[in-house]
């Protein structure tokens, strides 16, 4: 799961991921102010994560729990209801992903690689990693 996440970001290790992207990913994996055990979850339930983005619970009749994120493939809970002192942990088979940021989309779109390189050269990546909102008119490489 982390390998796929690193591949998607074009990174070789966690240390290659920008602090903003890493924080956004970690907050998207976390729900605060509730210890939600699988018995507490229902099919179609929408939960707001610590990042402010939503995930949707997909619960089967047999109790199997999957989590729909902003990708075509939901994450599956492979080890559920691990009780800890201050909550509960569910081990999943993938890193849940929210909608990409401007920088993530530009960095991972081959047809926008020249524009992304220009942003890097102009030292604007950190600016576009901020809270936003941003509107970017990015010329395609062929433009």
In this prediction, residue 106 carries a pLDDT of 87
If DSSP codes are grouped into helix, strand and coil, which group holds residue 82? strand
If DSSP codes are grouped into helix, strand and coil, which group holds residue 7? helix
Cβ–Cβ under 8 Å, residues 47 and 33: no
Cβ–Cβ under 8 Å, residues 57 and 45: yes
In this prediction, residue 55 carries a pLDDT of 92
- What is the number of alpha carbons within 13 Å of residue 111 lying toward its C-beta? 5
Positions of the chain with pLDDT under 50:
none
In this prediction, residue 45 carries a pLDDT of 96
The pTM assigned to this predicted structure is 0.73
In this prediction, residue 126 carries a pLDDT of 83
In this prediction, residue 120 carries a pLDDT of 92
CA pair distance 116, 41, nearest whole angstrom: 41
- Residue entry with tokens 């699988």: 38
In this prediction, residue 58 carries a pLDDT of 97
In this prediction, residue 74 carries a pLDDT of 93
In this prediction, residue 102 carries a pLDDT of 86
């Amino acid at each position: 799961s982390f390998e796929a996440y690193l591949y998607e970001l074009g990174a070789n290790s966690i240390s290659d991921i920008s602090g903003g992207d890493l924080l956004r990913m970690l907050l998207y994996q976390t729900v605060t102010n509730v210890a939600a055990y699988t018995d507490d979850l229902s099919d179609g339930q929408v939960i707001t994560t610590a990042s402010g983005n939503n995930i949707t619970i997909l619960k089967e009749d047999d109790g199997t729990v999957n989590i729909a994120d902003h990708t075509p493939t939901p994450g599956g809970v492979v080890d559920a209801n691990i009780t800890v002192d201050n909550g509960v942990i569910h081990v999943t088979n993938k890193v849940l992903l929210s909608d990409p940021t401007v920088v993530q989309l530009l960095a991972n779109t081959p047809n926008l690689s020249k524009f992304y390189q220009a942003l890097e050269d102009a030292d604007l990546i950190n600016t576009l990693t901020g809270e936003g909102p941003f509107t970017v008119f990015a010329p395609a490489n062929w433009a």
